[in-house]
A and B are shown apart, each in its own frame.
Chain A
Amino acid sequence: MTARARTATPRGFGLTGAIRMLAPRWPAVLIATATLCLWAGASLGAPVAIKHAVDDGLFNHDRVALFRASLAFGLLALSAYALQGLSTYAVAAVGQRFMRDLRVRLFSHLQRLSMSFYDRESSGRLVARMTADMVAITDLLNSAFTMLVQAVLLLVGTTIILFYLSWRLSLVSLSVVPPLAVATIIFRAYSGRAYDAVRDRIADVLVQMQETFSGMRVVQAYAREQHNIDRFAEINEANYEANLRTTRLSAMYIPFTEWLGGAAIALILYFGGRGIFGVESSVGTVAAFIIYLGFIFFPIQQLSQVYDQVQSGAAALNKVFGLLAVEPAVRPPDAPAALSMPVRGRIDLAHVSFGYYADVPVLRDVDLTIEPGQRVALVGATGAGKSTIARLIMRFYDPTGGHVSLDGRNLRELSFADLRRTITMVPQEGFLFSGTILENVLFGRPDASPEEAMRACRELGIDDFMQSLPEGYETTVSYRGSRLSAGEKQLVSLARAFLADPPVLILDEATSNVDPGTEALLEDAMRRLLSGRTTIVVAHRLSTAEHMDRVLVVDAGRVVEDGSHRELVARGGHYAALYRQWSSSQSHNGATPATDGTGP
């Protein structure tokens, strides 16, 4: 299933998934729901106690009845207090634990997905799944659930009690509910749109600020300040206007609800008062009705808020569970074949075809064998397919035709653990994870000790460099901003691969220029890393290809030339032409030409 297909998931899809995940926690869910219901019940009882205090105690001048009613009120208040605390905790405990589990589950799932998934999915969206969507789901599980149960129970309970007290007066006082509900729904509809507009406008404001503040030097270099200030004034004003619109809307809604509240009191007093000497009504009833009014107004307004939360929460659930339903394109075998030890490191591509998209072939019928211990350079223009060959050997993707094998075993038959112990790569950009340098080296082989990691660096000849960093091996770095230069990052990356010590190594050569201090170090370390293992270098510089045992020239998805550097130069083909061009430019300005521009 691709990322696109997710939009087709049915509406209740996410909810079913959530219920299935919550099912094993049923006792906690039960406790949460029960305490919530009991709390609503205790809150509902209090006005009844007041009614009895007024009617039986005050009206009939009965001290005992007044005492009884006070006692009942006190007990109800205390139990409401305890139950509110219990339910607050119980509901949150269920919701938060669910959230934690869902986060871990979703992230673990992301780890199983294949590179083809990441080619299509943007990082921003995945982060949103893990953060904003999760917050929406928490709101759904905690506040929306609490409010929904409470509001429904209060509304239903109040209605029952009111009818029990006096059905005539109930009909009279509940007559304000329909206009209130209609007004609330209309208000919600308009204010929903108004708040959407506010969100858009504030986003405009933030984007403009972000862009200007981060590009401030360019802004001033091009004397754009006044233009920016004028433009920002417009955006800022639009945001103010959008905010004001929401205020205007509530300025229309609020007086109406407040007036309805007053109207209800007037109705109760008027009709209650007329019937007060009759059979049904009493002063206590009138007082109880006035208090119960709050129990009707509040939940109705709450319900409309719940509606929004349920909608966005359900949408988030659908998105998250949709993501969980995406199957990895590259899967480990159910019964992995054993790899004969020690691994020799022979790689075969047998009639391999592949394309990232179904209708755009990238590799066409590639057939080649790389002998154990051979050092091979892949050379060719951008888009020729050299990086793709490397990725297929890593099994980041499965070929659409033919197969790739290691020591005669199809990669599809090997367990991921075996595969990754055997074949590893050094990416072009020298990626660093947040943490210390040492942790970054240990990433290559987590069971290695710090001493082993440092020994590896010594053997690679970069120990002095590591020690020269501000805090040596303990220097902290992050994947975004780091104090290390491109070349230095590359060094750490090489150390990582050296510690992993894989029989087969794939190296995506750096295209960017490296600072003078590290260039020599890097070349030296690379030489040591490459010796004694099968190595496939995606080469961007001809000087690298020159030093390899074998050069494969890739063009339009095929291997067009194959041989040693010497042989290919002598053959006078594509490679020889490239080389001639390079050596002539080499002699006049000392620059090293790349075989292509941007790399993969």
Chain B
Amino acid sequence: MARCLRAEWPSLVIGLLFALIWSGARLGIPILTAYTIDHLVASPRGSKGGLFGGVVSPMAHAVQWGSGHHLGLLGALAILILGFAGVQGLAAAIRRYFAMRTSYRMEADLRGGLYNRVNRLSFDYYDRTATGQLMSRGSADLHEIQQFVVAIPINLAALLMATGAFFVMLRVHAGLAFSALCVYPLVLLITVRFFTRLFPATARVQQGLSDLSGVVEENIAGARLVRAFGREDHEIGKLQRVADGIFRNNMEVTRLRTIYTPLFSLLPSVGQLVIISYGGWLVLQGQVTIGQFVMFMQFLNMLIWPVQMMGEQIASGQRAITSAARVWNVLREEPTVRERPHARSLPAGRGEVTFDHVQFSYQTGRPVLHDFSLRVPAGMAVALVGPTGCGKSTVARLLPRFYDIDSGKISIDGVDIRDLKLQELRRNVGLVFEDTFLFSDSLRNNIAYGRLEAHDDEIQRAAQLAQAAEFIEQAPGAYDTVVGEQGFSLSGGQRQRIAIARAVLMQPRVLILDDATSSVDARMEEEIRSALRRVMEGRTTIIISHRLSTISLADQVVLMDQGRVAAIGTHEELLSKSSAYGEVLGQLELVS
């Protein structure tokens, strides 16, 4: 944040300069008004002397002289006020513009920084951070900070003006100044208290609204069940409770407003009353002129808004600090997987994969892979089989370096993957996950996700290979159809085939299918399987599956147990020599 402020220092200086000009001009108008009134009334202390007469009358004379003495003193004063108003307006605009610009710049920079950082972090970070959390860092928290930052220069300017007004009032009559302004600390205090109490109440209202969305969404999603069981009244009861909660919290907000907002008008009125009665008495005593009396009234009005602003800023300070701390926590997070300084390119090869005594754990003390060694010859397809938690999916995540291993070595075509350029490594390891993530973009862009520069016919070939071409061409906009728009939705099997096409288009040396067929039914699996068979041809493939039919695509089966290789062989070999394999398959049989 400090870095950002350094970069923005010219606009800060400009902002501050114009804040000074603004407060000067703003203070000038009531002073000029006072001088004018006193000039008109010609009170005992007279128009020639009076408050700031030494400054105002030469200015007025200058204007008169400038007009060739066509103007009376009154006209000259009016012109001066017009001029001061113009300066005030311009200065206000410039000051505000720079304040806003700095705060928006900062918000944008922080958001960009946040986004970049999150993109660079490693999988362990995503494992422990929910998307919703990151979203609120990038929206609500940044907004909170922006609102706080934009108010700083505005409040500084207001503070300048208030100080100036206070000194002018002091010069006129210290007693009146103190007694009229004594309510303002109270206004400040009450504002702080109001906003401090208001925030939790409005947050509860927001929470209530999101609960309400939840109830409505659930009700719509389960509309059929609600009707099937005739439970409409029960659902209405649920909503009523939430709606009543929102009502109660809104009324709590209303109560706070009812208590506090009238005070924001009453307290300045008390100050005005002091001016009318005490100030009026002083006028009668001849200690204060009528013009000064009117000026006091104007100053008092001018200060209401800045004091409230300041109170609001103080109240929001705590929230802004909390938000800033939360954003900072993301920004200072370091990726655990990093490219080495002199990383090399992948040498020519056909994708031989070696795991050499690999040791790995997600959390220290709970090893997932122990001394895992496996060699997959180039072009070979290997299936990893084993009970849940044996570490087969972990193997798939280690090859593209989503996590770094604790000890041992993983290499592709003889090179340790930690010595490779990260981007190149990942482009050469194609992954098809269990839960296919498609972006709300066109089908074409979803397939070309890893290779944006891919040609249309390359994309079509990939789609054909993944057996996705047929249904894509039938979609309303063919390859330009946007996923999730206008009711265009894909079945699980179709999504999976898009994901396969996406992986194929990258022409990876190694293909990993992590439970790619688990979420579809048997008939769909058959379709995907024939797509896979073509895709796998001549490519090193690692298959992780619960399904016997998918496992049967592999040349070799690796039986894993507790993070180790328990047995290797073809399906038939393992069946005959390993009883553990038979057991695992026995479980799988039920699944498929």
Contacts and interface: CB of A to CB of B under 8 A. Distances in A.
B92 to A, nearest CB: 6
Contacts of A206: 135, 138-139
B342 interface: no
A229 B116 contact: yes
Interface string B79-103: 1011011101110111011001100
B111 interface: yes
B450 A431 contact: no
A259 to B, nearest CB: 4
Given A254-B96, A446-B234, A519-B590, A247 B251 contact: no
Contacts of B120: 225
A375 B81 CA distance: 94
B212 A257 contact: no
- 7 closest Cβ pairs, A-B complex: A262-B85, A255-B89, A420-B230, A258-B89, A222-B450, A77-B269, A111-B232
A88 B239 CA distance: 27
A539 B320 CA distance: 57
Given A210-B135, A216-B118, A85 B123 contact: no
24 contacts: A50-B272, A88-B257, A104-B239, A126-B216, A127-B220, A213-B135, A216-B119, A218-B433, A221-B433, A222-B449, A247-B97, A247-B101, A251-B96, A262-B89, A266-B78, A266-B82, A283-B290, A291-B297, A434-B218, A512-B519, A512-B521, A519-B591, A591-B547, A591-B549
A269 to B, nearest CB: 5
B81 A269 contact: yes
Interface in B483-528: 491, 493, 502, 506, 518-526
Nearest to B286: A61
Interface residues on A, range: 35 or more
B284 A58 contact: yes
B284 A61 contact: yes
B254 A240 contact: no
B224 interface: yes
A227 B118 CA distance: 14
Given A229-B119, A257-B89, A269-B36, A123 B221 contact: yes
Contacts of A515: 591
A506 B531 CA distance: 36
B119 A84 contact: no
Among B88, B116, B523, the most chain A Cβ lie within 10 Å of the Cβ of B523
A513 interface: yes
A565 interface: no
Given A81-B266, A206-B135, A258-B88, A100 B40 contact: no
Interface stretch (A14-22, A89-97, A318-326, A466-474): A89-97
B105 A265 contact: no
A557 interface: no
Contacts of B115: 209, 212, 228-229, 232, 236
Sorting the interface of chain B by its residue count into under 10, 10 to 19, 20 to 34 or 35 or more gives: 35 or more
B86 to A, nearest CB: 5
Interface in B430-479: 431, 433, 437, 439-440, 449-450, 452
B589 interface: yes
B450 to A, nearest CB: 4
B155 interface: no
B521 to A, nearest CB: 5
B186 interface: no
B247 A100 contact: yes
B134 interface: yes
Contact of A213 (B40, B85, B118, B427): B118
Interface in A506-557: 511-516, 519-520, 540
A111 B290 contact: no
A67 interface: yes
Interface stretch (A68-76, A403-411, A448-456): A68-76
Contact of B37 (A103, A216, A233, A283): A283
B262 interface: yes
Given A50-B297, A262-B29, 13 more contacts: A58-B293, A100-B246, A228-B119, A232-B112, A266-B81, A273-B36, A283-B290, A294-B301, A419-B230, A513-B591, A591-B526, A591-B592, A597-B524
A209 B33 contact: no
Given A227-B452, A243-B104, A513 B518 contact: yes
Nearest to A107: B239
Contact of A516 (B118, B265, B590): B590
Nearest to B255: A89
Nearest to A514: B591
Contacts of B59: none
A220 interface: yes
A259 B254 contact: no
Among B39, B522, B591, the most chain A Cβ lie within 10 Å of the Cβ of: B522
B235 interface: yes
Contacts of A69: 276, 280
A53 B226 CA distance: 71
Interface stretch (A149-157, A306-314, A421-429): A421-429
Contacts of B134: 209, 213
Contacts of B82: 259, 262-263, 266
Given A66-B281, A97-B247, A540-B521, A89 B221 contact: no
Contacts of B358: none
B89 A92 contact: no
Contacts of B212: 103, 130-131
A120 B525 CA distance: 31
Contact of A118 (B214, B223, B592): B223
A591 B545 CA distance: 14
A63 B276 CA distance: 12
A536 B224 CA distance: 17
Contacts of A84: 261-262, 265
Contacts of A61: 284
B213 interface: yes
A443 B86 CA distance: 70
Contacts of A260: 85
B209 interface: yes
A287 B279 CA distance: 15
A67 B277 CA distance: 7
B122 to A, nearest CB: 8
A594 B522 contact: yes
B6 interface: no
A221 B522 contact: no
Interface in A558-599: 589-594, 596-598
B174 interface: no
Contacts of B439: 211, 215
A70 B273 contact: yes
A141 B135 CA distance: 32
A116 to B, nearest CB: 11
Interface in B241-281: 243-244, 246-247, 250-251, 254-255, 257-259, 261-263, 265-266, 269-270, 272-273, 276-277, 280-281
Nearest to A595: B523
A296 interface: no
Interface string A100-140: 10011001101110010010000100110011000100000
B467 to A, nearest CB: 13
Contacts of A97: 247
Contacts of B139: 206, 209
A118 B220 contact: yes
A290 B298 contact: yes
Contacts of B105: 240
Nearest to B549: A589
B264 to A, nearest CB: 9
Contacts of A251: 93-94, 96-97
Contact of A224 (B217, B220, B450): B450
B441 to A, nearest CB: 8
Contact of A396 (B41, B108, B227, B240): B227
Contact of B491 (A81, A115, A261, A598): A598
A88 B240 contact: no
B402 interface: yes
B225 interface: yes
